[in-house]
């Protein structure tokens, strides 16, 4: 365990940008190959994660902002990869800061719950639920997430078969439909 000094970070709620000094991870369409039903023909940025640096240990809380850009691959809205926690029982809290979207959560048995994300809404993601954020709007979807430091990431299960549902644009609005590949 590390005894840390207290510190503060500023989040711009509109843009999701942090100061000072976040760890930034950018995910482009090329790093999301296989996640969307259709293949993309560009390598545009889809989202970025801006993480406050603390050790990934049980006695710390990791947190980050995520900025999911507006866009679609075919009729499927831009979204995060989504993951289970490597330590399955670790939970997480999301607070949406700007934009609008859907938070898709699923158990390994296929049970699925979808919740709205909009500014001011807190979404609680209990342990054992895989989670993915989908930007269904025309502005960036920005949210702040807090999770137990040793949660870890299991991307493999999602990379293989995806979530039980996909979020697609039907007649100009979001529709949650069964994933044909699940």
- Tell me which residues touch ligand M6P (CB under 6 A): 49, 64, 66, 80-83, 92, 145, 147
Nearest distance in Å: CB 111, Zn ion: 17
Contact at 8 Å (CB) between 94 and 16?
no
Contact status: 92 vs Zn ion (CB under 5 A): yes
Look at residue 100 and give the partner it binds from Zn ion, ligand M6P, none, a contact being a CB closer than 5 to 8 Å depending on partner kind: none
Nearest approach, Cβ of 92 to ligand M6P (angstroms)?
6
| Beta bridge mates, 117 | 101
CB nearer to ligand M6P: pick between 105 and 176: 105
40 binds, among Zn ion, ligand M6P, none (CB under 5 to 8 A by kind): none
- By a kind-dependent CB cut-off of 5 to 8 A, residue 101 interacts, out of Zn ion, ligand M6P, none, with none
- Cβ closest to ligand M6P, residue 5 vs residue 90: 90
50-56 contact pairs (CB < 8 A, 24+) = 50/16, 50/17, 50/18, 50/22, 50/23, 50/24, 51/22, 51/23, 51/24, 51/25, 52/9, 52/18, 52/22, 53/21, 53/22, 53/23, 54/4, 54/149, 55/2, 55/149, 56/149, 56/150, 56/152
By C-beta, is 80 or 96 nearer to ligand M6P?
80
Is 145 in contact with 63 (CB distance < 8 Å)?
yes
Least CB distance from residue 181 to ligand M6P, whole Å?
18
Please choose which of ligand M6P, Zn ion, none residue 98 contacts, taking the beta carbon within 5 to 8 angstroms, the exact cut-off set by kind.
none
Pairing, β 141-148 against β 10-11: unpaired
Residues that bind Zn ion (CB under 5 A): 92
């Amino acid at each position: 365990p590390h005894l840390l000094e207290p510190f503060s970070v500023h989040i711009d709620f509109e843009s999701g940008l942090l100061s000072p000094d976040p760890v930034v991870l950018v995910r482009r369409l090329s790093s999301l190959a296989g996640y969307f039903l259709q293949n993309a023909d560009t390598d545009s940025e889809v989202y970025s994660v801006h993480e406050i640096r603390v050790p990934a240990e049980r006695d710390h809380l990791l947190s980050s902002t995520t900025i999911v850009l507006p866009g679609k691959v075919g009729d499927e809205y831009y979204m995060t990869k989504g993951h289970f926690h490597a330590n399955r029982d670790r939970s997480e809290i999301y607070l949406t800061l700007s934009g609008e979207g859907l938070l898709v959560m699923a158990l390994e048995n296929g049970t699925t719950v979808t919740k709205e994300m909009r500014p001011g809404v807190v979404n609680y993601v209990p342990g054992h639920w895989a989670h993915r954020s989908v930007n269904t709007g025309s502005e960036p979807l920005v949210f702040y997430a807090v999770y137990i430091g040793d949660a870890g990431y299991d991307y493999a299960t999602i990379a293989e078969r995806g979530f039980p549902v996909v979020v697609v644009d039907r007649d100009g609005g979001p529709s949650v439909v069964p994933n044909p590949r699940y």
